[in-house]
Amino acid sequence: MLLGYARTSTLEQKASIETQRAALEAAGCEKVWQEQVSSVAHRSGLQEALGYAREGDTLIVTKLDRLARSVRHLGEIVDTLEARNVSLRILDLNLDTSTATGNRQADAERHRFGGSVRA
């Protein structure tokens, strides 16, 4: 199953959350979680999406900074997904960890961000 996650930091970014949701639905997501919360706050929508994901599912986000707030956080999310055999797809990076190339690219992204991926 294709699962989507969309996030903006503020309520003023309504157009952004709608754009993300439209992109996720266009990518085929059957279920989408969305929230408007800072990346450093507790994100219940993200936790629900991660908890819902099952083996063989793919979690899709539009941009890396909508998902992870730091390299460490990205690593934690990827590790959680990998442990459950769930793939990650990041649309703007054309990254898909269900492929060998995507796995190498995900590792490169972890190393490329020498610090925060927050936005």
Is 119 a domain residue?
no
Domain count, the chain: 1
Q: What contacts 24+ positions apart, CB below 8 Å, involve 15-23?
A: 19/62, 20/62, 20/66, 23/62, 23/91
Is 35 a domain residue?
yes
Q: Angle at which helices 71-83 and 100-112 pack, to 10 degrees?
A: 150
Catalytic residues: 9
35, two tokens: 């929230």
**Which CATH number do you get for residue 33?**
3.40.50.1390
Q: In which order are the strands placed within the sheet that holds 87-90? A: 31-36, 2-8, 58-61, 87-90, 95-96
Domain around 80: 2-111
Task: Please give the DSSP secondary-structure letter assigned to residue 64.
Answer: H
Q: What is the pLDDT along the chain (119 residues), one digit of tens a residue?
A: 999 999 998 766 778 899 999 999 999 999 999 998 887 888 999 999 999 999 999 999 999 989 988 888 888 998 999 999 999 999 998 988 887 666 666 666 656 655 444 33
pTM, rounded to two decimals: 0.83
According to DSSP, the residues that pair with 101 across neighbouring strands are: none
Is 98 a domain residue?
yes
